[in-house]
Structure 1
Amino acid sequence: MSQLYVTPSAISDLRRVQTAQWHYAGETNEPQPGLCDLRTFVQLLEERGKSAGMPDFGWRTGLASSYGNRGDVGRAVLGARTLGTALHRLVQYFPLIQDATALALKVEDSSAILSYRILDPDIWPRHQDAMYSLGIYAAMIRLVAPSDWLHVELSIEAEASEVKADLSHLVGTQVIYGCGLNALRFPAAWLDKELAIMKSADPLLLRSLSRQLVGKRRATAVGDRTREIIYRDMASGQVGQEQIARELGVTSRTLRRKLCAEGHSFQELLDDCRMRCAARELTARRHLSLSELALRLGYAEHSTFSRAFHRWAGTAPQVYRREHLIH
């Protein structure tokens, strides 16, 4: 994927929280003002958590952060009258905050699920970033239900062996490890609770953000937008050229033409996304069988997956896993 960014407000807010919480003075290798490379931001959080010896560093930092420091997007989110409206705006305008990241809100029966996942599989490890983001969203949820935190459940991508700590004890509620998404599950009834933090967002502000969102999508290469959808939907098995073309508002023929103009084919992008996900899963999910991994990636037979991986990596998946686990 092309270089990915996170908004400058995320860096300034991170620095503000660390200074206030831990009297952090900064380092010479910190990202400078301006758009920050997403990989650099994630690595920064991982390094800070490790140096502080705090498995919940990201969580604590997120809880102490404020979306009010996220510029116009923050004002739109915190200018909502209910938690549900705030989270829907957060999901809608999040691409203006951070690139290539899937943020979604859905309701299942009596539960609401707010999920977060960086789509680029090459950005790993990313446990502290996940906890940082969930911490920010948890702070919003706590505003409407401050005494009911035990009704919330956390899911994270990282395995328990990677975290090496009892996060349930540290965050005060149940944590499920090794999931496909990082998520907060909470009672759906909370979505209707009043959230009066800032004055109501001006409709002109919302229209301006919508125009910015359209402009950003139009400026993003078709190949990059296609990759994002493939990464987002791969786990569901609903990855198809026609479905992606519909989401992009073009016909399958036009999608093929636009990809060709950028030097790609749909099958090439799909295969590359599958193999990059496979490489990450082989090392991050040590107990995941090849058959299970093949199914996750959309292969009916693990032998077909193994041959495809060998063509891409130059080695069998079992060998790749063994070599990378050793090192």
Structure 2
Amino acid sequence: MLDHKTQNPAVTDRVLEKCNIQRDDITVSAGTCSAHTEALFARYACDILEDPTFAAAAGLEYRSSSSLTAYISKYSRDLKQVLENTSRFHGIIDPALMFSLRVAGNFASIEAEWKDASFARYHRRTEFLVFAGLARMRNLTQIDFFPMEIRFQHETGGNRTAYQKLAGFPVLFGAERIEIVLALSSLDLPVPTYDPKLRAHLLEYGDRVIAEHRQPKQKLRARVEGLITRSLPGAIIQADDAAANLGLSARTFARRLKDEGTSYREIVDDLRCDLAQTFITNGMPLSEIAFSLGYADQPAFSTAFKRWTGQAPSTFRSRLDFTSGA
């Protein structure tokens, strides 16, 4: 998608280099890259294009998948069965998100929750995944239906209209949770490739994979980042409160973070710096960014940003050092 958009493969190569990967690393035969690498690529691609909606647009163009969940979905009866299967098996393929189907009143909602909230900072990957989910549902049913609304937890500054224009339906930011809201009738959309025997076989195989699949234990840092992210906007949870939330004493909390080579203050600063750059790229006013990141006022935020990056927020342009001739 980036090659096509720029008509210049060298631009994509530089984005890949920024993510510490090469084209050979992402060929089909090479296997997979990490979710963090994928997230960085989505972010940097949007940055170089100066288009925050690019990852969402790429998601809407997503068609094929070779995952177990994709094959089970392909042979499901209808969209409701597809979503039930996704809730059940998606955790095998994504370390960051889990999905669940909720039916309430006259609508249905596909809700996403963070298994690893350290991924919440990667807004562009989140947008890619959600819009790719919609594209997959459309591909499976072979109907370009529209959801009632898509909701994201993060803010996107002055770009809301661009997302809504891209989607063709309401896209809400700053919501309580990540979700795709559907009309109840959408759940009855049939999947033309339905095959009950193949589905039953794949479900049995999927259950075996789940039984054998061990979730990697999250590092303490990732759990702390999740607590900080959930405390935003407008406040940063204190270290003692974070320790108590995790069932640790303040001393044990500090020691375990030290064992991981970090401290609570370093985690807070790293997350604030990362989110600040994303918010600036999103076009959010500096006063709003200062509040969102828990600063008393804009000058305090500007001082911190200059300490992190060596430049004032007003002069920040992009985290990538691309030249105009790239």
| TM-score grouping bracket, smaller chain normalisation | 0.5 to 0.7
Pair 237,138 (structure 1): closer, same or farther in 2 beyond 3 Å: farther
Partner amino acid, structure 2, of 1:176: V
SS in 1 for 2:199: coil
Residue 184 (str. 1) matches residue 185 (str. 2): no
Count of equivalent residues: 282
Opposite residue 199 of structure 1, the aligned amino acid is R
Work out whether residues 254 and 264 of structure 2, in 8 Å CA contact, stay in contact via their aligned partners in 1. Answer: yes
Matches within 5 A, 1:219-238: 220-228=218-226, 230-231=228-229, 234-235=232-233
**Does residue 259 of structure 2 align to residue 261 of structure 1?**
yes
Q: C-alpha distance in 2, partners of 1:135/1:90?
A: 15
Tell me how far apart the structure 2 counterparts of residues 48 and 275 of structure 1 sit (CA, whole Å). Answer: 18
1:272 to 270, 273, 277: 270
Identity over aligned residues, as a percent?
12
Q: Would you say the 8 A contact 1:103–1:115 is kept in 2?
A: yes
| Aligned positions of 1:1-327 closer than 5 A | 29-32=22-25, 33-38=30-35, 40-41=37-38, 59=57, 62-67=60-65, 69-70=66-67, 72-75=68-71, 78=74, 83-84=79-80, 86-87=82-83, 89-90=85-86, 93-94=89-90, 96-99=92-95, 101-105=96-100, 107=102, 110-111=106-107, 112-115=109-112, 119-120=118-119, 126=124, 129=125, 132-142=128-138, 149-155=145-151, 168=164, 171=167, 173-176=168-171, 179=174, 183-188=179-184, 190-191=186-187, 196=194, 199-200=199-200, 201-209=202-210, 211-212=212-213, 215-218=214-217, 220-228=218-226, 230-231=228-229, 234-235=232-233, 241=242, 245=246, 251-253=247-249, 258-266=256-264, 268-281=266-279, 283-290=280-287, 292-297=288-293, 299=294, 302-303=296-297, 307=300, 310-311=303-304, 313-314=306-307, 320-325=312-317
- Letter paired with 2:171: I
**Could you say what the CA RMSD is over the residues aligned between the two structures, in angstroms?**
5.1
* 5+ residue gaps, structure 1: 1-13, 19-23, 246-250
* Cα distance in structure 2, aligned partners of 1:49 and 1:276: 13
Would the alpha carbon gap of residues 104 and 199 (structure 1) be closer, same or farther in structure 2, given more than 3 Å must change? Answer: closer
AA partner of residue 284 (structure 1): T
Cα distance between partner residues in 2 of 1:42 and 1:135: 15
Q: 1:152 and 1:161 mapped to 2: Cα distance?
A: 22
Contact preservation (8 Å) 1:103, 1:116: yes
Query: 2:270 is paired with a residue of what secondary structure?
Result: helix
TM-score by length of 1: 0.59
Q: TM-score, normalised by structure 2?
A: 0.59
> Using a 3 Å threshold, how does the CA distance of structure 1 residues 296 and 262 change in structure 2: closer, same or farther?
same
Query: How far apart are 1:322 and its partner, in Å?
Result: 0.4
